[in-house]
Amino acid sequence: MAEPSIRNIVIVGGGTAGWMTAAAVSKVLRAGTYTVRLIESDEIGRVGVGEATIPPITTFNRILGIDENEFLRKTQGSIKLAIEFVNWGRLGQTYLHPFGQFGLDIEAVKFHQYWRKLGMLGEVPPLDDYCLTAMAAKLGRFTRPSPDPQSVLSTLKYAYHFDAALYARFLRDYAEKRGVKRREGKVVDVSLRGEDGFIEAVTLASGERIEGDFFIDCSGFRSLLLAQALKTEFDDWSHWLPCDRAVATQCEAGGELTPFTRATAHKAGWQWRIPLQHRIGTGYVFCSKFISDEEAIQTLLANLDGPPLVDPWLLKFTAGRRKQLWNKNCVAIGLAGGFMEPLESTSIHLIQAGITRLLSLFPGAAISPLEVDEYNRLMISHYEHIRDFIILHYHATERDDSPFWDQCRTMTVPETLKHKIDLFRGCGRLFRYEDELFAEGSWIAVLLGQNVLPQAYDPLVDAIDVKVVRNTLTQIRSHVRQTVEAFPTHRTFLQRNCPAPKLLVNRGAGYVGAK
C-alpha cells in the first residue's frame, strides 16, 4: 500500500474546535504516519459560551476512550436531559424538548398518534409523562441508562453541561499525550501555491513559517484560512434567523441543580440558562434591530439566578455557513465554517460532525474532488436540517406582543420546513430526511410544545380498540413514573460519581465575529 503523501496536518486555532479536532485526529490517525501541529495564540479571546451539548457528544467522548466521571469532574460538568422552553409558543407557556423517545409504537403505528386520538377525546395526560427522559428532567433525577434494549432504562438519553474552556484544556492534555504539538503564535499571513491555489504555509507574527500538506481551520468567526485566504463565500441566513448578537455572563448558582438547559424568550430574543456544578452560564441572544446592546445587558442582569461573577461581554455574529466547508486542502471546523445560534445547543455538535465526516473521508495519497464534494454535501445538508429545526421555534409562535415576534411569526420559511409543518398539522405525520440530526421525538416535542396540533390522527389508530389503547398508555405512564422515582437526584448523582473541585471563576473574553 502506498504511503500517504499527506503527512503534515496543521490546525489553526485552539479552543473547543481546535482541541476536539486535535484529540480526534491523534486518536484515529495512525501514530507515526502523520505530524499534527496546532497553532493558537493566548492573545486572542475565545467565544467561550458553548457549554450545553446534545447526546452525540457522549459518543465522541466514548470513541476517545474518555472516562465520563473524570471528564465531568475536570470540566465542572452536569447532566443535560432536555431543554425547557419558556414563553415561546405563548407568554406564560412552558414546555420541554427532552432527549429520548415518547412511549412505544403500537402495531407499527407511532405512539403520538394514539396519544393524539385520546387527546381529542379529552382524556390524556401530557405527552412528557410517557418519556423517561422528560420525567427525569421534571423530577430533577438521573441515573445512567441500561445497555439492555429490553429495559425502559435503555430509552434514557442525555448530554452534558460543562465549562467549554475546561473541556478544551482537558482535550489539549489528551492530544499532547498522543503526539500533537502545540505552537504558540498569531497567524499573520497565509501562503498559497501558485499552481493550484492550495495553502502551503502559514506565517506567525514571530516570522516563523509553518508548512503543511493539509490545513484545518479552527480560527472561529475570523475564518482565517477558509474565508480570508481562500475567499470562500458565505450563505447568509439572517432573514430566517434574525438574532445577530449575544451578551453573556456567569452567575452564582442557587437552588436545585436542574438537569436541563432553560431557554426563556424575551421581547427581542431569548436567554439561556446552563447550570454547572460551580456556577450558572447565562446570556441573552437578541436581534439588534429591535433592542440596543445596553437594554439587552440590563435585561440579562435583571434575570439572573444569583449575583454575577463576571462583567457581561458582547458577541456579534451572522447566522449562516460557508458555501464550502472543504475548499482545496482546507477544512473549516466549527465557527470558521458557519454559525448556528445556540438555541438547540448544536455548536459543539457541528464541530463533532465536521470532525467525524472529515475522518471518514480523510485523503490518502491525494485530495479527491469526489471526496471533497461528498464532504460538502453531507455538511451542508446537516447545517440546513438544523437550520430548519431552529427556525421552527421562532416561526411557530402565537406571540404578537413585540415587533420581533411579529416578524418571526409572519416570515416566509424554507420550503423544506413548511412541508414538514403542513404534513404534521394534517394528521400528525412526520418524516425525517437523510442523516437528519434531530429525531422524530424532538420534532414532536417542539411542534406540540408550540401549539402546532394535528387536526386529525393516523386512521390506522382506529384498528385497535380504544380501551386497549387507553390501558396501554396508562401502563406506560405508570412504569415511566415508577422507574424515575427510583433514580437519585441529579445533585446526588454528581456528588457520588464526579464531584468537581471548587474553582475561582475567571472571565472568558469573546471576540467579535462577522461574515
d(CA 506, CA 429): 48
Kindly write down the DSSP assignment for every residue of 10-63, as one continuous string. Answer: EEE--HHHHHHHHHHHHHHSPTTT-EEEEEE-TTS-------B--THHHHHHHH
Positive or negative, the Cα torsion across 477, 483, 485, 488? negative
Whether 418 is a known active-site residue: answer: no
Q: What strands lie across the sheet with 181-184, from one edge to the other? A: 181-184, 35-40, 8-12, 214-217, 330-332, 326-327
Q: Are strands 214-217 and 269-275 parallel, antiparallel or unpaired?
A: unpaired
- Choose the catalytic residue: 74, 80, 138, 157: 80
Please count the other Cβ atoms lying within 10 Å of the Cβ belonging to residue 254: 12
* End-to-end C-alpha distance for the chain, whole angstroms: 43
How many residues in total does the chain contain?
A: 515
d(CA 398, CA 412): 15
d(CA 16, CA 351): 8
Positive or negative, the Cα torsion across 388, 392, 394, 395? positive
d(CA 257, CA 272): 15
d(CA 136, CA 138): 5
Amino acid at 48: G
3-state secondary structure at position 83: strand
Please give the angle made by the CA atoms of 377, 380 and 383, to the nearest 5 degrees. 150
Give me the active site residues, please.
80
